[in-house]
């Protein structure tokens, strides 16, 4: 099996910096495992590493498609596995790095996707039902037909509630049934999975500072550009944290401060969900950042983990 180093963790934890430093030490190339960095023109809000930040390390699966183009997890799976083969053939180490847990799992494990294409007519009917009867009524319906999915989907998350009901109605089985079919930890690769984390307060402070910096760097202009291109609810990139929070502000419905507060809160919640996902995988070797610990010490610990298993450092 090909060797594959995976580096995961919550948003703003410092994955980009550590992955690049590790890649320099291990003759590696980085494959992004971020579901939004694949879109062109979404640079600031997705925290894409600039060419300078990439520091000469080849990066893959960034800027793959335009925001309006369809792109699925299955598409990502095929491209990422192809890149792993190509990088290995060059005699270099593929490093899968990012925070989208589903993308990482789809690459490293057998992952049979839910056999339900998007039914736009049904989705429109469900949205209409949400407007007329209220989202709470749809959530209650979901709780009745798929209590497992309802437990992990927030009652205000219209997109995921509707998708879960869409799967149920088109396949005859609840979403949780299909997800359980894929829950097999049987990697295709000779695998090392590193999870990066920081003390919670420190992570949340980094998230808050990142939002402030993104706005200073021009995030609002990126969000405005997406709206100008005809962004709508059928456009998966519209759900990206870092953009959707500013649409109400750009429409004159709320203040910039309110939009920024929403983004900070939404990003903190997202980081918590990421940690829940990664902590459920027993293969993850957790490495702590922060509390005065230098990146050099973190890289050294990761290299030791690699050396203990692969004897290549």
CA distance linking residue 150 with residue 172, whole number of Å: 17
Task: Give pLDDT, residue 160.
Answer: 87
The answer for 99, left when phi > 0, alpha when psi is -120 to 50, beta otherwise, is: alpha
The predicted-structure confidence for 144-196, as pLDDT tens digits, reads as follows 999 998 988 888 888 889 989 998 988 888 888 877 765 567 889 999 999 99
Burial class (CB in 10 A: 0-12, 13-18, 19+), 59: buried
Between residues 238 and 140, the one the model is more confident about: 140
Residues 18-41: b if buried by 16+ CB within 10 A, e if exposed: bbbbbbeebebbbbbbbbbbbbee
Task: Give pLDDT, residue 159.
Answer: 85
Task: Give pLDDT, residue 25.
Answer: 96
Task: Give pLDDT, residue 15.
Answer: 96
CA distance linking residue 198 with residue 204, whole number of Å: 9
Burial class (CB in 10 A: 0-12, 13-18, 19+), 243: buried
For 240, other C-beta atoms within 10 Å of its C-beta total: 20
The closest alpha carbon to 9, from 40, 37, 33, 35, belongs to 33
SS3 state at 286: strand
Task: Give pLDDT, residue 232.
Answer: 52
The predicted-structure confidence for 253-299, as pLDDT tens digits, reads as follows 889 999 999 999 999 999 999 999 999 999 999 999 998 899 999 99
- Lowest mean pLDDT across 2-16, 164-178, 200-214: 164-178
pLDDT exceeds cutoff 70 at 236? no
- List, in order of start, the domains of the chain with CATH numbers: 3-113+183-310 (3.40.50.300), 120-181 (1.10.20.140)
Mean pLDDT computed over every residue of the chain: 89
As given in the structure block, the two tokens for residue 103 are 């993308």
The predicted-structure confidence for 45-63, as pLDDT tens digits, reads as follows 889 998 888 989 999 999 9
């Amino acid at each position: 099996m090909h060797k594959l180093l995976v580096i995961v963790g919550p948003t703003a934890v410092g994955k980009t910096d550590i992955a690049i430093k590790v890649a320099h030490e291990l003759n590696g190339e980085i494959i992004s495992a971020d579901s939004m960095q694949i879109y062109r023109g979404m640079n600031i809000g997705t925290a894409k590493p600039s060419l300078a930040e990439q520091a000469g390390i080849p990066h893959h699966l960034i800027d793959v498609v335009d925001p309006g183009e369809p792109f699925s997890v299955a598409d990502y799976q095929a491209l990422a596995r192809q890149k792993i083969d190509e990088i290995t053939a060059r005699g270099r180490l593929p490093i899968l790095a990012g925070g989208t847990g589903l993308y990482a799992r789809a690459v490293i494990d057998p992952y049979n996707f839910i056999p339900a294409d998007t039914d736009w007519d049904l989705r429109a009917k469900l949205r209409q039902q949400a407007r007329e009867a209220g989202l709470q009524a749809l959530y209650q319906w979901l709780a009745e037909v798929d209590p497992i999915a309802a437990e992990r989907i927030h009652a205000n998350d219209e997109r995921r509630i509707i998708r879960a009901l869409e799967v149920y109605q088109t396949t005859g089985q609840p979403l949780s049934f299909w997800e359980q079919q894929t829950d097999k930890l049987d990697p295709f690769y000779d695998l090392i999975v590193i999870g990066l984390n920081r003390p919670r307060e420190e992570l949340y402070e980094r998230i808050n500072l990142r939002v402030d910096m993104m706005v200073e760097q021009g995030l609002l202009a990126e969000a405005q550009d997406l709206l100008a291109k005809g962004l709508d609810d059928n456009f998966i990139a519209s759900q990206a944290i870092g953009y959707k929070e500013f649409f109400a502000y750009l429409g004159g419905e709320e203040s910039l401060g309110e939009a920024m507060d929403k983004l900070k809160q939404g990003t903190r919640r997202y980081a918590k969900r990421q940690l829940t996902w990664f902590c459920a995988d027993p293969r993850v070797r957790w490495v702590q950042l922060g509390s005065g610990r230098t990146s050099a010490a973190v890289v050294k610990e990761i290299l030791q983990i690699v050396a203990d298993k692969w004897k290549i450092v």
